[in-house]
Amino acid sequence: MNPATSNAQPGDPMPPPATPLRTLTIDHVGAQGDGRAREGEGWVSVPFTLAGEIVEVSGEGDRLKLERIAAPAPVRATPACRHFTRCGGCTLQHMAPAPYAAFKRDLILRALKSRGLEAEVAETWVTPAASRRRAAFAAKKSGKAITIGFHGRRSHELIALEDCPVLRPAIVAALPKLKEIVAPLFTGKEELSLQITETASGLDLHITGIAKQATRLARAEATGGALRAGFARVSLEGVDVLTERAPRLPVGLASLQPPPGGFLQASAEAEAEIARLVLGHLEGVKHAADLFAGCGTFALRLAERAPVFAAESARAAIEALRASTNAVPHLKPVTADVRDLFRNPLAAIELAPFDGLVLDPPRAGAAAQTAEIAKSGVPRVAYVSCDPATLARDLRTLADGGYRIIRIHPIDQFLWSAHVEAVALLEKS
């Protein structure tokens, strides 16, 4: 494969570069998924390259264009998608499976090292292809044409998506129907966001970015179009405007109805693996806490075994958790509170009743909350993270407070991206 500029397809003739080509040798793949090479006295990034490759590049600055691969690495793979290098969704389809999994694990190892931590890090669990059950597409109108897809790499260009090896097939199959659905909502050059989630009862559609000038009739036409296309629920700007079939997701014995746009794990398979690790670590707890609980991914499963206190700042998510809990008669009691754990973390004294807890904060981590956990006596903690840097920062706090890191499990939920999630299992000495 000889990827060229972000607008070229494999096999297309190479356009003449605007500046003379330079030859570089890629040293390693950086945290953003780009190859990193020495040029002069600094480092530069070259997209779609691998360690050891000799490449020719054009452009200036830290972000260069790959023009030709003079010597490909043995671990270079054939990309799974024809949109690769143009669509900004994937950055690592050109890396073979084994080094790809090792790269994800190494992201966590590097973050730990930066904080002076050592821990056992398991091999990376990789989500299957065609398993992502949620995606957010952009939609724009130019003249009479409507484009729906993902933005290009570091670009405002919208790449029309025709297929995707990452998404669930039902989501890909719904893409052609979306143009007719959203057409009435455009009033000018605005860009709509279309979030689609596959649920057990059908596809859930949430549309945001709608201009204030969009009329009630236009909104009704879009809603009717979604109904005819078979969507289970349609929400506009966070408001449920039509529920034909309540969207439901199985969570252990419970069935969760997510609020419009509410946080969910992107892959059901990844969620099941994360939950397996969390529940295994908290086996036998008498009173559990679920912090940054979302809609109850862990709380509902933990409540099959023990009473649970759940805290989350999003009121809609807590209401969804309460409704799910009330619908299952055999769960242990679940106390669900709306609470901003960034500004108002549970203090160490409030954590005293719990003998096990799980926390799953957003990318910013949980600095204030982990500081309180570090001062507490909670025996077992499972920390679910979507950012190695903030995970390592918070683990440093917990380690300094007397916690021992038993093991960290890398979870590759966002296939072929440079992102990695992790489940860190800790015990208080």
Which three-class secondary structure state does DSSP give residue 332? coil
- pLDDT tens column, 301-330: 999 999 999 999 999 999 999 999 999 998
The pLDDT of 102-126, averaged and rounded, is: 98
pLDDT for 12: 54
- pLDDT tens column, 327-355: 999 899 999 999 999 999 999 999 999 99
As a whole number of angstroms, the distance between CA 6 and CA 234 comes to: 34
The pLDDT of 182-187, averaged and rounded, is: 97
Percentage of residues in the chain with pLDDT exceeding 70?
95
Question: For residue 160, what are the CA distances in angstroms to 82, 173, 205, 411?
Answer: 12, 14, 19, 29
Q: What is the CATH number of domain 134-243?
A: 2.40.50.1070
- pLDDT tens column, 358-374: 999 999 999 999 999 99
Which three-class secondary structure state does DSSP give residue 305? coil
As a whole number of angstroms, the distance between CA 372 and CA 398 comes to: 9
The residue count for the chain = 429
321 residue type, one letter: L
3-state secondary structure 130-145: CCECEEEEEEEEECCE
- Reply yes or no on whether the pLDDT at 2 is more than 90: no
The pLDDT of 287-308, averaged and rounded, is: 98
What is the number of other CB atoms lying within 10 angstroms of the CB of residue 314?
18
Known catalytic residue: 386? yes
The pLDDT of 200-206, averaged and rounded, is: 97
The pLDDT of 205-215, averaged and rounded, is: 97
Q: Do domains 102-128+264-428 and 134-243 have the same CATH topology?
A: no
As a whole number of angstroms, the distance between CA 114 and CA 130 comes to: 34
Print burial letters for 217-236: b (CB count within 10 Å at least 16), e (below 16): ebbebbbebbeebebbbbbb
As a whole number of angstroms, the distance between CA 262 and CA 354 comes to: 27
As a whole number of angstroms, the distance between CA 104 and CA 190 comes to: 36
Q: How confident is the model at residue 191 (pLDDT cuts 50, 70, 90)?
A: very high
pLDDT for 196: 97
- pLDDT tens column, 153-163: 888 899 999 89
What is the number of other CB atoms lying within 10 angstroms of the CB of residue 248?
19
As a whole number of angstroms, the distance between CA 421 and CA 104 comes to: 9
β-pair partners for 126: 412
209 touches 193 (CB < 8 A): yes
- Look at the block and give the residue holding tokens 């252990």: 252
Q: Which of 90, 164, 295, 386 is catalytic?
A: 386
Distance of CA 27 to the CA centre of its chain: 28
DSSP state of 95: B
pLDDT for 4: 42
Domain ranges of the chain: 1-76, 102-128+264-428, 134-243
CATH 3.40.1350.10 fits 1-76, yes or no: no
Q: What superfamily in CATH does domain 102-128+264-428 come from?
A: Vaccinia Virus protein VP39 (3.40.50.150)
Task: Using CA atoms of 45, 50, 55, 57 in order, give the dihedral in degrees to the nearest 10.
Answer: -30
As a whole number of angstroms, the distance between CA 197 and CA 425 comes to: 30
- Reply yes or no on whether the pLDDT at 113 is more than 60: yes
Distance of CA 110 to the CA centre of its chain: 20
- Reply yes or no on whether the pLDDT at 1 is more than 50: no
* Mean pLDDT over each residue of the chain, to the nearest integer: 94
- Reply yes or no on whether the pLDDT at 14 is more than 90: no
- Reply yes or no on whether the pLDDT at 19 is more than 90: no
Which three-class secondary structure state does DSSP give residue 91? coil
Radius of gyration of the chain (CA): 23
288 touches 354 (CB < 8 A): yes
